[in-house]
Amino acid sequence: MEPHLEHLQHVINALKGKKIIICADTNTHSPVWHSRERQYIGRGSEAEERKAQIECFLAQNTLNVENREGQPPTFSGPGGTSNIDITATLRGVIVDEWRVIEGASLSDHQLIVVKEKIGESRGSTTNEATTTGSLFRIRDRDVNWDRFRTHLVARAGTMDERMFAEEYARELCGLIERAAHECLGEYKTNSTNKYEWWNVGLALRRRFGSARRRWQRLRKKTGCATENARETFVKLRSEYRRAMAEAQESHF
């Protein structure tokens, strides 16, 4: 599992600032992508470790899992059915529709249809930024929050409460965005994620964490296994600290 996650991490880092859609057969069960409880509870330490690795990878990269609850299982084979295929998005991708079509594929994996909403995105990116690639981050230090609050309250009072919820939410988000531009200003940046340098060493971090847990289990014992675990832990700790320092320095 780790080599595949490490490779995927390199891909995400190489596509810094670009929208990403990931489709993957994880061969792993988790409530995050709506697997049934009996499929991920009590399945042994190896299954639990795989589940934790993927969940950790998704969380550390702020990936949004687009799988929808109530759809047919993504996998159907002689041994039964399950949800092991995931669709994950990053950097503002909006998925309008995600559904599983049974019987349309010659594989054990069912056909998954994903429809992306073009021209719109999550987060505080304006329409102009979406089309031109000019990204921004709103200032949050040394600003006049009272002016922003007063501006926002005054404009919100003019909104039509009879609008549909989706339209009202869109108008409100636009109002907040315009108020932020007018009252707070923005920082220019070339990346949607200021702290993306941290992702460079995540694979090494996982190996270091695994070595540390193994050393903690064996440290009260004696023998070759204990000594090997200690040496591995010390070595990976040094590599991890060095990688983090180098990644941070090269990014900034």
Tens of pLDDT along 75-132? 998 888 999 999 999 888 889 899 999 988 878 999 999 998 876 555 443 343 443 3
Distance of alpha carbon 58 from alpha carbon 41, whole angstroms: 20
pLDDT band at 192 (very low <50, low <70, confident <90, very high): very low
Distance of alpha carbon 137 from alpha carbon 143, whole angstroms: 14
Q: Which of 205, 211, 212, 218 minimizes the C-alpha distance to 247? A: 205
DSSP labels, 14-60 = HTTTS-EEEEEE-----GGGT--GGGTSSS-HHHHHHHHHHHHHHHH
Q: What is the pLDDT of residue 245?
A: 63
Residues 6+ apart with CB under 8 A from 180: 124, 138, 148, 186
Distance of alpha carbon 168 from alpha carbon 159, whole angstroms: 8
Tokens 């039509």 locate to 160
Beta strands in the chain (DSSP E): 20-25, 64-65, 75-77, 80-82, 85-90, 95-101, 111-116, 136-138, 186-188
Q: What is the pLDDT of residue 251?
A: 45
pLDDT band at 209 (very low <50, low <70, confident <90, very high): confident
Q: Which residue has the higher pLDDT, 175 or 189?
A: 175
Tokens 């040496």 locate to 231
Tens of pLDDT along 225-246? 888 888 888 888 888 777 766 6
Tens of pLDDT along 26-76? 999 999 999 988 888 887 888 888 888 898 888 888 899 999 999 999 999
Q: Which of 131, 128, 177, 129 minimizes the C-alpha distance to 151? A: 177
pLDDT band at 187 (very low <50, low <70, confident <90, very high): low
Phi, psi of 115 (to 5 degrees): -115, 120
Half-sphere exposure (CA, 13 Å, Cβ side) for 76? 14
The answer to whether 89 touches 95, Cβ cutoff 8 Å, is: yes
Q: What is the pLDDT of residue 101?
A: 93
The answer to whether 136 touches 129, Cβ cutoff 8 Å, is: yes
Point out the least confidently predicted range of 32-41, 150-159, 161-170, 237-246. Answer: 237-246
pTM above 0.85, yes or no: no
Distance of alpha carbon 171 from alpha carbon 227, whole angstroms: 62
The answer to whether 80 touches 62, Cβ cutoff 8 Å, is: no
pLDDT of residue 195 exceeding 80, the answer is no
Specify the fold of 1-109: Deoxyribonuclease I; Chain A (3.60.10)
The answer to whether 56 touches 206, Cβ cutoff 8 Å, is: yes
Q: What is the pLDDT of residue 247?
A: 58
